[in-house]
Structure 1
């Protein structure tokens, strides 16, 4: 499969810069993957597509305020540091992206807030990547609190407006609990407590994996031959409770639905030889694109994605390339909203 097969024109007016007023009132496109039939609904209507014993699996990672603004020592030049991954908690060593990259060199000291936090650049990793050490005496918890107070919600750069206080809550699922993501699992952001309650009353269960989303999920694919693309690794956990709930649903011939591409990646990265889910705690660089034989899920909820993105490729692998690309054409005609704060698609 070639990269150019996933090219389409995405007008700016279809990129949502704010979420729907109520999470579960986003629009929902339902795509039937056996026929290609499309239905137009509201997200809260999703209850009608699940029955007693069916299982939803969500990603309970929590976004932390990964974007820090500061200044360089001596010159006082403004800089931006985007925290990607903690390399050593004791030493407060982090893998980061910096801007402007050409001005931030090994040995530079960077100041955040009123000198509340100071970091030293230890190494260059890529053109924009650096390893930095925060010169901080406290433990991990105290460090987290300082980052929480100084950092900004890491909304994607294509959302051009200023960050608003409400973004801290809205760029997060209501069930987020394990801190470590630099982007939200967006499909899960449509769920409300009331909606989960309605599903529960109907006998639909929910279980969770944790996959800490890095920026690699959104990295542009720059090879035409998709077999040559390498995904960045992301840390994930599939625990015993999730394993038993998923395998029970499969045994009972019930529907297992991945809430989002990150959940799907985690589940497909933890498949046993007998096509059952197994416990796993580690890293995954699994890249799913058509054709692909999904082992665990029979349904998937996902947002509308960027052209040529690995997220679109996974959706096409699950729903069928022709059906999904046709659904995207329909979504554009019907003015569905795309990307992070956009509308959702249920593929069943």
Structure 2
């Protein structure tokens, strides 16, 4: 069967798109998707769904202040959204302007420094920052926190904390690994008190995560690139989990993509790299047994990913249930717990 973009569409009322976080991280609802049933729970029930032999794998990336405003040499206004740093002094970025800047031109950002436009990379631009500091140094000093395009307000002071996970360590993302936003220190303590182990990977989420799929035939879709690191200690933790009969539970699609990207040979290998892995129904999973994830946009590659893990029928039923029960959707929304469909 040839899958098309329309196979991953669903109707979502705008009122269900969460525009702000709840007062408490762990106040979110949790839809548990079983083989034959759906269960309405809360994220604080997660420890009950885990066994002492299981391993939770988090993404410890940190969101950078990736949105910068400035002017072209002609005086026209520009908005730059870093997609991903390339080395210390260059970046791939979205540039919004009345007319696209040309290679060799400069952009004055934050009325403080100039970047050179080196050229185009597909829909993005290749920019060179001044050599006296890193790209991330410049974004953290002059940039603004980016919120997803479906949040119809500017980032506020509360977002500085709430659009980061409590375990964020390594700066480089332009979007939060949102499944991790539900975890606070109290919930993590309860999980560890049960004996559940935890481990970390790093995947820096790029702005390309919001790029729409533009082809009906999904076999023609080209994924955006994202940088990832899978540490040796995480590989060892997964091997120990397998040895004791536990499950590897990814917290978020980004953790899942990092793990699966590092196992494309069939064997999970520690290391770093860039991934363009496109997970859709028919994909054979090598590492992940279960997933904690938020609800994803219609026709998105992330909806295709969860459909590959849990099965298209289960996901369609779960999303219809979530809409009917008025779950909160997307980055600041509620969560799901999915187990891998038996092959």
Q: What TM-score comes out, normalization by structure 1 length? A: 0.92
Q: 2:99 and 2:73 mapped to 1: Cα distance? A: 15
1:321 aligns with 2:312: yes
Aligned partners of 1:58 and 1:259 also within 8 Å: yes
Aligned partners of 2:67 and 2:143 also within 8 Å: yes
| 1:182-331 map, 5 Å | 182-271=174-263, 275-331=266-322
Q: Which moved more, 1:327-336 or 1:95-104?
A: 95-104
Aligned to 1:20, which of 19, 22, 47? 22
Structure 1: gaps spanning 5 or more residues: none
Name the structure 1 match of 2:121: 125
Deviating above 4 A after TM superposition, structure 1's stretches of 4 or more consecutive aligned residues are: none
Alignment length, in residue pairs? 337
Q: 1:278 and 1:43 mapped to 2: Cα distance? A: 31
Q: SS in structure 2 opposite 1:183? A: coil
The alpha-carbon distance between structure 1 residues 175 and 101, as it changes in their structure 2 partners (threshold 3 A), is farther
Q: CA deviation at 1:158?
A: 1.4
Aligned partners of 1:301 and 1:345 also within 8 Å: yes
Q: CA deviation at 1:272?
A: 6.7
Q: CA deviation at 1:218?
A: 2.6
Name the structure 2 match of 1:335: 326
Q: What TM-score comes out, normalization by structure 2 length? A: 0.93
How big is each residue's C-alpha offset from its partner over 1:223-263, in whole Å with a ceiling of 9 and x where there is no partner?
Answer: 22222211112111111100010111112111210111111
How big is each residue's C-alpha offset from its partner over 1:180-213, in whole Å with a ceiling of 9 and x where there is no partner?
Answer: 1111111111100111111111101110111111
Q: 1:316 and 1:190 mapped to 2: Cα distance? A: 22
Aligned partners of 2:294 and 2:336 also within 8 Å: yes
Q: Which moved more, 1:213-222 or 1:157-166?
A: 213-222
Q: SS in structure 2 opposite 1:20? A: coil
Q: CA deviation at 1:74?
A: 4.5
Aligned partners of 1:247 and 1:277 also within 8 Å: no
Q: 1:8 and 1:16 mapped to 2: Cα distance? A: 17
Aligned partners of 1:272 and 1:278 also within 8 Å: no
Q: CA deviation at 1:123?
A: 1.7
Q: CA deviation at 1:101?
A: 5.5
1:97 aligns with 2:94: yes
Aligned partners of 2:230 and 2:262 also within 8 Å: yes
RMSD: 1.7
Name the structure 1 match of 2:64: 64
Q: CA deviation at 1:68?
A: 0.3
Q: 1:86 and 1:59 mapped to 2: Cα distance? A: 18
